[in-house]
Structure 1
Amino acid sequence: MCSGHYIWAIFFFASLCSASLANNAKINFREKEKKVLDQILGAGKYDARIRPSGINGTDGPAVVRVNIYIRSISKIDDVTMEYSVQLTFREQWTDERLKFDDIQGRLKYLTLTEANRVWMPDLFFSNEKEGHFHNIIMPNVYIRIFPNGSVLYSIRISLTLACPMNLKLYPLDRQICSLRMASYGWTTNDLVFLWKEGDPVQVVKNLHLPRFTLEKFLTDYCNSKTNTGEYSCLKVDLLFKREFSYYLIQIYIPCCMLVIVSWVSFWLDQGAVPARVSLGVTTLLTMATQTSGINASLPPVSYTKAIDVWTGVCLTFVFGALLEFALVNYASRSDIHKENLKKKRRDLEQASLDAASDLLDTDSNATFAMKPLVRHPGDPLALEKLRQCEVHMQPPKRPNCCKTWLSKFPTRSKRIDVISRITFPLVFALFNLVYWSTYLFREEEDETF
């Protein structure tokens, strides 16, 4: 029994000794990290003002490889022509002065949080308008130093970048927004930026934009030459396609409905002047208000946009319907005037015929003359029979369908309404065919990205 307790006591003491040795080893290992940092970054050991040497220790330019991870794109503003993006930005380069012993592979890398301790590339975003770092809860930045002298710098930043837009096809357009990164002070003789091999740009999988879709992106180089030298530059072009469903529901369908409502006046009675005037003026004002609202959400550009063509033609159709009623009203008054003149003429002719018949009755009672059996060539009755024969001898004319159909409507005002009922929808349908075919095909042709 005593021997068993003795064995358990020995085992417990051995475990305590091993745990204490492990803790001491960890403490000693962290002490070794501190010693390594002091060894490579201590006073008089490293000067952060001097750039690293080139590849393989040569005197060539320092090579910095860049990759970015796009976390979110919050907005794309058409009025100010800018977009906001949040990304994780990474740079990696080799500094021979930062090599250290990895203690047989146990020390994989050293971590720093102060960027001023080592040399940093002077990269800046050339199309940046605003930007800020993220410091909650701690500054979102780190620097890793690897045993071979490789340095990895990673930081999370939010940027508002300029994005010049061409809105000729708005809202059937695609926009290319760039992210440009260049060296501010070091020329290509001292510093060269390169995209990281493999996958230099990564995008979060659930990226969602309210009115755009990120179709694809392309990395490229944009070195610039100035009076002070050539500077290395990287760029990534983001192709955004505008979501058309929003504009179809909010703009195109309501405009079509307003145009169709303006055609209702063609089916109203000509005498319903208040109804037709109020309908035309209301649709015209509504269309003008919607057009001004659309233009308020866009920058005042000097060229014509696709939406301007649509709203302009719709406004013209609504205004044309109002002018059509003015023409119908004028034609109606003209028809009434002509009808009154015809009535007066018929009354005068009837009065003259009555007077002539009374005179003939008086002459027939006073005198009686024998009429010849053979009529003279100048006899009116003979001339009338001759005309009838000539008419029967002429070939029959082909009936005109349009004139025959229009002859069913006795007044010009009614004919104008009937013609408008057919002409306005046909012309609007033809405009839609030309509009959609033109801008949809042009959208495909202009896509050169």
Structure 2
Amino acid sequence: MRRILYITFILFTNYSITINGAVPKPRMNNIQQPKTIIPEYYVKEVRPPTYKQRPVEVKFSMKVLDINSINVEDMDFRMDMLLKQEWTDPRLRIPDEMFEIGEDAFALPAQLFENLWQPDLYFLNSKIVEIATLTQSFSTVSLFRNKTVSYSARMHAIVACQMEFQHYPMDTQICPLYIESFSYKFDKMNLKWGDAGVTISPELKLLQYHIEQPLQLHESNVFTSEKGGNYSRLVVYFRFERQIGHHLIQTFAPSTLIVMLSWFSFWLGLDVVPARVTLVVTCMLTLVTMFTGLRSDIPPVAYVKALDLWMAFCIFLVFAALTEFIIVKVMDKHYQKQKKYATNSKLLEITPWCDCNKMNLDHLKKEKQKLTKLFWINEKGKEKVLWQQIDHLSRIIFPTVFATFVAIFWPILLYFKSQTNVV
């Protein structure tokens, strides 16, 4: 009877507990990492405490893995990089059992890192910044024995760059990258370059540019009017030097050959007018077409570029060769007309001069002056036609002028390129 009453009491008690919804709590493990590392008084919105209220020192370093595009039209460049930030948070509690034997750091899970204070760094002149992902974000966090937090991530960024093209195609683009805290002023957070600073992957190669090394790094405190205060700022200057080999093959060498080709017209006589005109006009059209294609490689700018000067002078020389042909052709036409008139009227014989006593002296002098403007007689009595002498002189003058331009153009361009310094 007692046994029946005992079983009935137990069943009634369990039923009452179920009805009242009293479910026993599960047992907690004695070791809970979140509560061990992050104390109860920890507030992630508050920066770590420092000695005598000094600013929190955040060390920043970066390794550039790839620069896959330098867009001159949008004035920006894209790069993939590995970032690393380090700071010390003395509020953390890190027991020794968290470290493996022989190691001074261990990795934190991502959900735990979200509960820690983090520096709010950003790229001041970036257009897009995002963490690279595959199945998850490529980022990791490590804790050291001295309570140093190390955050690393692989990121992709599009950085704006104000480019100048006065020396194009021998220009050097200086593109700074500014790193700054968004809300902490310099008396609250101080940014420092890490031991590694900024490095570039040795496998990185660009098609049209060469990255000059070492990179220039700067640390400064800058007043920002938009945020109303002084902020600690890190600056790294990337120097992209355009390689001239492509333009030597595609631009300078062909344009030089075309200009030299136009000089062959000086060896052609005036009797082959179609050949001479076709040669010079074809050279002119080729240069204009080449110049138009080159202008499409860079955005239109309001100033004159070095390439514009080169192509303009080449076009000018070809135009001058065409103008020279027109001038000598007109002179030859007048020469033939005056010569024919002098022969038909028997006023003058070319060599030797006719007997002046038979003609009116004044009229003869006028005809001789007209004709001697187009030719003269040397000491041996051989006729020298003026337009022929112009062609002979052009064979020397045009190459000399072009060689002088080249001797001035390239040294000046190289000098200004060497004077391109980081401001």
Correspondence 1:14-25 to 2 at 5 A: none
C-alpha separation in 2, matches of 1:106 and 1:226: 45
Deviation digits for residues 351-410 of structure 1 (CA, Å, limit 9, x no counterpart): x98xx8xxxxxxxxxxxxxxxxxxxxxxxxxxxxxxxxxxxxxxxxxxxxxx96999673
Deviation digits for residues 228-263 of structure 1 (CA, Å, limit 9, x no counterpart): 211111011112221111110111001101111111
**2:5 alignment counterpart:** none
1:39 to 29, 36, 39: 36
Q: Can you give the 5+ residue segments of structure 2 that lack an aligned partner in the other structure? A: 1-28, 359-376
Specify the code of the residue in structure 2 equivalent to 1:149: K
**1:76 alignment counterpart:** 70
Secondary structure of the 2:396 match is helix
Relative to structure 1, is the Cα distance of residues 39 and 104 closer, same or farther in structure 2, using a 3 angstrom cutoff? closer
CA contact (8 A) 1:85 1:159 kept: yes
C-alpha separation in 2, matches of 1:407 and 1:445: 60
Give the TM-score, by structure 2 length: 0.80
C-alpha separation in 2, matches of 1:170 and 1:143: 45
CA contact (8 A) 1:109 1:147 kept: no
CA contact (8 A) 1:48 1:118 kept: yes
Relative to structure 1, is the Cα distance of residues 194 and 203 closer, same or farther in structure 2, using a 3 angstrom cutoff? same
Correspondence 1:240-259 to 2 at 5 A: 240-259=240-259
Correspondence 1:365-380 to 2 at 5 A: none
**1:135 alignment counterpart:** 133
**1:160 alignment counterpart:** 158
C-alpha separation in 1, matches of 2:422 and 2:156: 29
Specify the code of the residue in structure 1 equivalent to 2:198: V
Relative to structure 1, is the Cα distance of residues 148 and 325 closer, same or farther in structure 2, using a 3 angstrom cutoff? same
**1:24 alignment counterpart:** none
CA contact (8 A) 2:56 2:190 kept: yes
**1:291 alignment counterpart:** 291
**2:83 alignment counterpart:** 89
Deviation digits for residues 91-120 of structure 1 (CA, Å, limit 9, x no counterpart): 000011123112395373242324422111
The structure number with the bigger radius of gyration is 1
Specify the code of the residue in structure 2 equivalent to 1:253: A
Specify the code of the residue in structure 2 equivalent to 1:51: R
Deviation digits for residues 303-338 of structure 1 (CA, Å, limit 9, x no counterpart): 221111111101101111111111121111011112
**1:62 alignment counterpart:** 56
In the alignment, does 2:389 pair up with 1:433? Answer: no
C-alpha separation in 1, matches of 2:400 and 2:268: 20
Deviation digits for residues 264-304 of structure 1 (CA, Å, limit 9, x no counterpart): 21112212121222222221111111112112212222222
2:203 to 202, 206, 222: 206
State the 1:344 CA deviation.
2.3
CA contact (8 A) 1:85 1:158 kept: yes
Deviation digits for residues 5-35 of structure 1 (CA, Å, limit 9, x no counterpart): xxxxxxxxxxxxxxxxxxxxxxxxxx99x73
CA contact (8 A) 1:144 1:152 kept: yes
CA contact (8 A) 2:62 2:196 kept: no
State the 1:130 CA deviation.
2.0
C-alpha separation in 1, matches of 2:80 and 2:379: 68
CA contact (8 A) 2:36 2:93 kept: no
Relative to structure 1, is the Cα distance of residues 102 and 426 closer, same or farther in structure 2, using a 3 angstrom cutoff? same
Identity %: 30
Specify the code of the residue in structure 2 equivalent to 1:435: F
**1:124 alignment counterpart:** 122
C-alpha separation in 1, matches of 2:233 and 2:256: 48
Deviation digits for residues 191-229 of structure 1 (CA, Å, limit 9, x no counterpart): 111111x32112111210101111121110243213421
Relative to structure 1, is the Cα distance of residues 446 and 201 closer, same or farther in structure 2, using a 3 angstrom cutoff? closer
CA contact (8 A) 1:406 1:415 kept: no
Deviation digits for residues 119-168 of structure 1 (CA, Å, limit 9, x no counterpart): 11111101101232211132101111223221001111111111112222
Correspondence 1:151-230 to 2 at 5 A: 151-196=149-194, 198-216=195-213, 217-227=215-225, 228-230=228-230
The aligned length equals 365
Specify the code of the residue in structure 2 equivalent to 1:439: L
CA contact (8 A) 1:168 1:303 kept: yes
CA contact (8 A) 1:82 1:162 kept: yes
Secondary structure of the 1:294 match is helix
Higher fraction of helix: 1
Higher fraction of strand: 2
**2:25 alignment counterpart:** none
In the alignment, does 2:106 pair up with 1:112? Answer: no
Indicate the larger mover: 406-415 or 431-440. Answer: 406-415
Relative to structure 1, is the Cα distance of residues 348 and 289 closer, same or farther in structure 2, using a 3 angstrom cutoff? closer
Relative to structure 1, is the Cα distance of residues 74 and 168 closer, same or farther in structure 2, using a 3 angstrom cutoff? same
Secondary structure of the 2:271 match is coil
CA contact (8 A) 2:98 2:106 kept: no
C-alpha separation in 2, matches of 1:280 and 1:348: 37
